[in-house]
Structures are given as C-alpha cells and as structure tokens.
Amino acid sequence: MKILTCPVNGPRPLQEFQYGGELREMPDPDQANDSGWADYVFHRSGEPAIKREWWYHLPSGTWFVAERDNRLDEIVRTYLYDANREIGK
C-alpha cells in the first residue's frame, strides 16, 4: 500500500496519513460492567480480515474510515464516518 484515497482530498501518498486503530463501538460507560469495559479497552481481534479502521489525513486534518485487508495490505474502500451508517454493522 503506497497510496491511500482520502474521501475529501483524493489519492495521496501514504506518508501523509496516520493510522488510528480499528473502528470499535464503545459501550455506554455508565452501563458497562468492569469486564465489559476491560474487554473494550484492551481486547482486539487479531485475526487476518478486512477491517474498518480509523485513518487521519495529516495536512487537512481529516479523520475517515478505511476498510483494509490487513493481510494483503490492500484498501477496499474509504469514506467519511457516519454514525448512523456504522451502527448495526
């Protein structure tokens, strides 16, 4: 992967981006018990997959979502975060 497509600025070299980790749903802090909260804070799914991840375009300050195959290192697609769209996925 050398080029990443920012949903706002188009295809840009990878050096302009920063990885922000997997996109995960945060449980309600007031409702979650200790083990549920610990699971959210620490545990990850480490297996090869196409994952939804946070990426940040440094020059323009844009956070967006990329679906990436973390074994082949290939981007499937990128788009701006939309809370309504992410829920239930």
Nearer to another protein, 19 or 84 (CB): 19
Place of tokens 């804070």: 41
Amino acid at 16: E
Range in contact with another protein (rule: CB under 8 A) among 24-32, 41-49, 57-65, 76-84? 41-49
Kindly state whether residue 89 participates in binding another protein, applying the rule CB under 8 A: no
The closest alpha carbon to 85, from 5, 7, 1, 21, belongs to 7
Kindly state whether residue 46 participates in binding another protein, applying the rule CB under 8 A: yes
Candidates 25, 43, 61, 83; binder of another protein (CB under 8 A) is 43
Q: At 63, give phi and psi (nearest 5°).
A: -90, 135
CB of 60 to another protein, least distance (A): 19
Contact 22, 51 (CB under 8 A): yes
